[in-house]
Structure 1
Amino acid sequence: MITSDFCRVMASYNSWQNQSLISAADDLSHAARWLDQGAFFGSIGATLNHLYWADALILARLNGNERPQDTIRHSLTDPSDWSDYKTQRKARDREIEDWAETLTDGDLTGTVTWYQADGTTRIVMSKSLCAAQLFNHQTHHRGQVHAMLTAAGATPEATDLTAQI
């Protein structure tokens, strides 16, 4: 389905795009970042936090953790401090890039298994599809943040892959 090279490109793209959104949001006030703009998670801050925590959950699944929700707490409000968020997001992006850097095509074969938050519903998915979901999910929600930033008067960078290469 996908290759390790694709994962490396997308991990780099993820870091670049997250930095673009952060830079655009730097000029907004705390209140503007948390203003409910009617998006699925409401605000820029909540949507960015969802991405931060969802990245951790999906990466943990790819690394074989069947119950990542037992140790990774998904929160729309944490971190609430912008400086803390930027530090933690950069570390998470580095974690994703480190994962992708050592990945081989063989690492994307087989399946991953995890349990939903209810602890009983077992999900089995191909590793390559789970990796694709990591990057697709990021792109989806970053698009929402991009729109909210634009509505707030901020200007994130272009999102086209061709702008990066």
Structure 2
Amino acid sequence: MAWTKIMITGAYAQEMARYNQWQNSQLSAFLQDLTPEELAKDRSAFFGSIMGTASHLLWGNWIWISRFDQGDGPGGGIPESVSLCADLAEWLPLCKTVDARISNWAGSLEEDLLTGEFTWFSAAKEADVTLPYAQCVIHMFNHQTHHRGQLHQMLTETGSAAPVSDLVFMPKEV
């Protein structure tokens, strides 16, 4: 199978890791303004509640960074991802830890890795999957944005303001 040549750089990964930290920092502040009941309320989203979606977002970040840096992963699969964290008190420090891990990985990412293939075991497919490394990196960051968009919608439904998500408005220092 021939892959479409995907070209990204380590600088791209570093910028997106910075964006991820900025977004999760803002998201954390908005989530802390909600009651536990608002966080747990089923909102008919794909992962149910705000807390379920935030847990899945964190699980996705953790599973992908564990694949990239060969460190510890979250365990479980997509169905268990919604219950990764019982509450916000558990989610907040774990999110910071995983975000730091993503930033550290991006900061040390070797450019030659981005031109090769990446193989991992996918529990969702119950098989090894091989794709271009760059595509997997892009996927990790795109997955984050997708689920933060869902969280943005659910936050606005609570009457809350929601984080500024425009990449072009990210502060120079995060």
Whether TM exceeds 0.5 here: the answer is: yes
Which residues of 2 match residues 52-131 of structure 1 at below 5 A? 52-63=58-69, 72-74=75-77, 75-117=81-123, 120-131=126-137
Following the alignment from structure 2 to structure 1, what is the Cα–Cα distance between the partners of residues 91 and 136?
A: 25
Following the alignment from structure 2 to structure 1, what is the Cα–Cα distance between the partners of residues 68 and 102?
A: 11
Q: Deviations over 1:24-64 (max 9, x none)?
A: 11111111011111111111100111111111111222235
Moved more, 95-104 or 76-85: 76-85
Residue number among 28, 32, 52 corresponding to 1:22 in the alignment: 28
Following the alignment from structure 1 to structure 2, what is the Cα–Cα distance between the partners of residues 138 and 11?
A: 10
1:10 aligns with 2:16: yes
Cα 1:118–1:4 shift into 2, 3 Å: closer
* Structure 2 unmatched ranges of 5 or more: 1-6
TM-score (norm 2): 0.86
Following the alignment from structure 2 to structure 1, what is the Cα–Cα distance between the partners of residues 105 and 87?
A: 27
Following the alignment from structure 2 to structure 1, what is the Cα–Cα distance between the partners of residues 18 and 124?
A: 33
Moved more, 39-48 or 101-110: 101-110
* RMSD value, Cα: 1.9
Following the alignment from structure 1 to structure 2, what is the Cα–Cα distance between the partners of residues 19 and 64?
A: 25
How many residues align? The count is: 162
Greater relative contact order (Cα < 8 A, sep 6+):
1
Instruction: Give SS of 1:92's match.
Output: helix
1:146 aligns with 2:159: no
TM-score (norm 1): 0.90
1:156 aligns with 2:162: yes
Amino acid of the structure 2 residue aligned with 1:32: E
Q: Deviations over 1:99-127 (max 9, x none)?
A: 00111321212111122227852210111
1:37 aligns with 2:43: yes
Amino acid of the structure 2 residue aligned with 1:63: D
Aligned to 1:48: 54
Identity, % of aligned positions: 35
Give the 4+ runs in structure 1 shifted more than 4 A.
none
Instruction: Give SS of 1:112's match.
Output: strand
Kept in 2, the 8 Å contact 1:53–1:73? The answer is no
Cα 1:132–1:118 shift into 2, 3 Å: closer
